[in-house]
Amino acid sequence: MRHAAAHPAPRPPFRRRARRGAAQVRQRRLGRRGADAVQLDGVARLLRRDGEDRPGVRRPGRGRPGTVAQVGRRGPAEDPGPDGAGAGVLRRYPLYIFDLDGTLYRGDEAIPHAADTVRRLVEEGSAVRYFTNNSGQTREFFARKLQTMGFPCEPGMVYSTATGVAALCRERGVDRVFCVGEPGLVQTLREAAVEVVNADAKGRVWPCGEASAVVVGICRSFTYALLDAALQCLLKGASYWATNTDATYPLEGGRLEPGAGSLVAAVSTCAGRGPDLVVGKPSPWIVRQILEETGVAPQDALLVGDRPETDLACGRTLGCPTCLVLTGVTRQAPPDQAFCEDLRGLLDPTLR
């Protein structure tokens, strides 16, 4: 419940839906200089400010002096609890991992305020990485697209399910695959010295060839013949990898188009089994790779996306805090999920 204050702080742009039976929270200032606290069910609890929670860990932002954060999973910039869901102390993060489709852009249109927010985070010292389940393009394509829209980006900052499949092939010693996918996936695999047995020189896939692994991703040239060829490989014992299982992709004007998950469903139905491995979200495999390459601990990396069941689930598996943005597929936040209407919620002025 809220209490009147002599100088009420501006209302932050993110919201938290009230929960039945939630604890009543009262704020008060401790007598100790520079310390903030809340009182929850009659128990005073000391809150740490930005930059004071763990010595030796870089803190790109600093909390506004005198700010008091409420207990409860209120907003996206929360100090994570043991489960990575948030324990109430609002702060900036050393690393932000952003989904692309529905979070930063829809089709060829940048989502309002997204580029400004990401630039601001980078200017203040945070590292940024981009992770998309879209396997249809190369790292270079996504980097150019983001740069054109005003996002700070280099190819090495982009992680996709195409790069994830290439890394998986290297890890497992697979050098030949049958691919249901776009030319961008084919090119990424070829750059990793993986032969795509059913692709021509331009990266277009055809219903021919055999391999020890079948990779299924978004494929706008999908045909019955291609489905049959993938099935024949699987019936002969090939491994079955899916780039992701997203049912749809968000486009301009709120339109949706079928995603890779619809093609994975078709292959799984005729094969009588699901994929042996899903490379992209909600699998934590690529997020773990990002954390290892950046040297950031899970609790110091905020995952931001528009799908709780994929974008955010992979973060929670690793203990990362998460934030749902309501600019893509999801229009209403589940209970207990930190969220914001758009990315401005990551730059709440009351926290600075």
| Euclidean distance between CA atoms 63 and 61, whole angstroms | 7
CB atoms < 10 A from the CB of 277, how many?
A: 15
Grouping H, G, I as helix, E, B as strand and the rest as coil, residue 140 is helix
| Euclidean distance between CA atoms 216 and 183, whole angstroms | 13
Q: Is residue 99 among the annotated active site residues?
A: yes
Tokens 């929360």 locate to: 78
Angle at 72 between CA 67 and CA 74, to 5 degrees: 70
Q: How far is CA 269 from the centre of its chain?
A: 28
Task: Please give the helix or strand (H or E) that residue 117 lies within, else none.
Answer: helix 114-123
| Euclidean distance between CA atoms 346 and 334, whole angstroms | 19
Partnered with residue 29 across adjacent β-strands are 36
From the list 50, 99, 306, 348, the catalytic residue is 99
Nearest to 285 by CA among 238, 328, 241: 241
Reading the block at residue 30, the tokens are 């401790």
Partnered with residue 242 across adjacent β-strands are 216, 278
Beta strand 195-196 pairing with 176-180: parallel
φ/ψ (deg, to 5) at 131:
-135, 115
Q: Is residue 276 among the annotated active site residues?
A: no
CB atoms < 10 A from the CB of 14, how many?
A: 24
From the list 36, 50, 101, 311, the catalytic residue is 101
DSSP conformation class of 199 = B
Q: Which amino acid is at 298?
A: P
Catalytic residues: 99, 101
